[in-house]
Amino acid sequence: MIQNYITYLKYLNNKLNNFFESQRPYIFCKKGCAKCCKNAQFPYSFLEFQYLMTGYLKLDKSIRDIISDRVDNIKLEKEKFTGDLFRYDCPFLINDECSIYEYRGIVCRTFGLMENAKDNVIKAPFCCYQGLNYSNVMENNDISEEKVQNLNPEVEPLAFNINHDILTNTDFERGFNIKFGEKKPLIDWLEGK
């Protein structure tokens, strides 16, 4: 199953690389920018979590210990939390770099692109509102035709079907002979470990 999932990830990476490449005029991602790894929920399926853990187990013990301490701290924060959506910084982020990059989940791979959300609503990544991806063409939560024209790019800003539920749907399961299984926030999986 993991081997089939790796095949799926190769397919997905290829697709996403093309998306990112096509959106180059609007993308400001760079090494060391890790805002998308912080203050979020990080939905993971069981299969993604299993694969992530294979990467975790390959890390040096000293790094694993740091991550494990962080998970414990996040659990404590979660216990005290009384709101609806508990958000946290990903415990695998070390010095603003992903410690298990090759093994990261699907949501980690799609973040930064504009999403074609439900009812054809386009959803910019949150970093757009922090002066990053798509911020050069966005105005009042929508694409500004004027800004696009001023930029005169070779490609228009596009939104993609990159929702986690879509990329883990039954069509992909059948196509790659995989089962994603239950989906929940990464910290909920880690709580079980």
Residues near ligand SF4, by CB under 6 A: 28-29, 33, 35-37, 42, 90, 92-93, 98, 100, 104-105, 108, 111-112, 125, 127, 132-133
Contacts for 104 with CB less than 8 Å, ≥ 6 apart: 52, 55, 92, 98
Report the C-alpha gap between 189 and 50 in whole angstroms. Answer: 10
Q: How far is the CB of 108 from ligand SF4 (least distance, A)?
A: 3
Q: How far is the CB of 178 from ligand SF4 (least distance, A)?
A: 19
User: Do 187 and 86 meet the contact criterion of CB atoms below 8 Å apart?
Assistant: yes
Output the six-digit token pair for 57: 């187990």
Pairing of strands 159-160, 114-116: parallel
Query: Given the complex with ligand SF4, which of 34 and 166 has the nearer CB atom?
Result: 34
Query: Given the complex with ligand SF4, which of 12 and 98 has the nearer CB atom?
Result: 98
Query: Given the complex with ligand SF4, which of 132 and 190 has the nearer CB atom?
Result: 132
Look-up: residue for tokens 């005169």?
152
Q: How far is the CB of 45 from ligand SF4 (least distance, A)?
A: 14
